[in-house]
Amino acid sequence: MIALKSKSELESMRQAGRIVALALDAAQAAIRPGVTTGDLDRVVDEAIRGLGASPSFKGLYGFPASACVSVNEEIVHGIPGRRVLREGDIVSVDAGALYKGLHADGAWTYPVGEVALETRRLLEVTETALMRGIAQVRPDGWLLDVTVAIQEYVEGQGMNLVRQYHGHGLGRKLHETPDVLNWVAKGSRPRNVRMKPGMTFTIEPMVIAGGWETYVKPDHWTVVAVDRAWSAHFEHSLAVTESGCEILTQR
Ligand code: MG
């Protein structure tokens, strides 16, 4: 069952989305060489709480922080801590906010100072993949068209998508149906969903500049590329509207 949101639920999600956007802005403003991933988590936590919401991630499935902070070869679900950011790194910050009983969720990958040209390209390809996915969101559209748009674009750029992790419905829970896949196997026929006004979900491509295989570190959370190639992750929360799509986590 996919929960369609009421006007008032959408208004709360809009507020939650604004809070996520502001928290990510605050994290971005704090990013520079010498800062730790734990510092960024504190910035996000303070921003979310300071705006009257609570961090969706803290304690969810046992996650110990308010933001997932993933550096370079770390893809998603990085546990913030003592890792120090250095010039030329990239850092993905993923955060959720719960406001009046409803969640929003967003992520962005930021350069730390000047990054290599191929790293810049990884960020551009991943952000463009997110926007191409979003361009498919409309009432009566098919959710798998989001997947196809992302996959065709990223693979056409010679990069790989992470296969095991994907976008998700959200609302009263952070993770609801439907799944919003970034990748499907050729010839497979995964469940498709027709989009309807009031549906809310994330789109969140994760792109690796190397092979697609991943593993989870012994900390039970941090997902890393097997070949340790760098990766990027861009995510927005969206609502299907009568006329198209609203980005709830727009900066
Ligand atoms: Mg998400």
Q: Token pair of 122, please? A: 């990884």
Confidence of residue 251 (pLDDT cuts 50, 70, 90): confident
The neighbouring-strand residues paired with 207 are: 161, 232
* Total Cβ atoms within 10 A of residue 248: 25
Q: How far apart are the first and last CA of the chain?
A: 30
In a domain, 38, yes or no: yes
How many domains does the chain divide into? 1
Query: What range does the domain containing 28 cover?
Result: 7-247
Confidence of residue 230 (pLDDT cuts 50, 70, 90): very high
The alpha carbon of 163 and the centre of ligand 1 are apart by a number of angstroms equal to 14
Residue 43, pLDDT > 90, answer yes
H or E element, residue 149: helix 143-156
CATH of the domain at 70: 3.90.230.10
The alpha carbon of 181 and the centre of ligand 1 are apart by a number of angstroms equal to 12
Measured CA to CA, the distance from residue 62 to residue 65 in angstroms comes to 9
In a domain, 119, yes or no: yes
Contacts of 218 (CB under 8 A, 6+ apart): none
In a domain, 2, yes or no: no
In a domain, 60, yes or no: yes
The alpha carbon of 93 and the centre of ligand 1 are apart by a number of angstroms equal to 11
Measured CA to CA, the distance from residue 196 to residue 153 in angstroms comes to 25
Whole-prediction pTM value?
A: 0.97
In a domain, 227, yes or no: yes
Residue 49, pLDDT > 90, answer yes
Q: What is the mean pLDDT of the chain?
A: 97
Confidence of residue 1 (pLDDT cuts 50, 70, 90): confident
Measured CA to CA, the distance from residue 182 to residue 240 in angstroms comes to 18
The alpha carbon of 105 and the centre of ligand 1 are apart by a number of angstroms equal to 6
- DSSP letter (8 states) at residue 120: H
The alpha carbon of 11 and the centre of ligand 1 are apart by a number of angstroms equal to 19
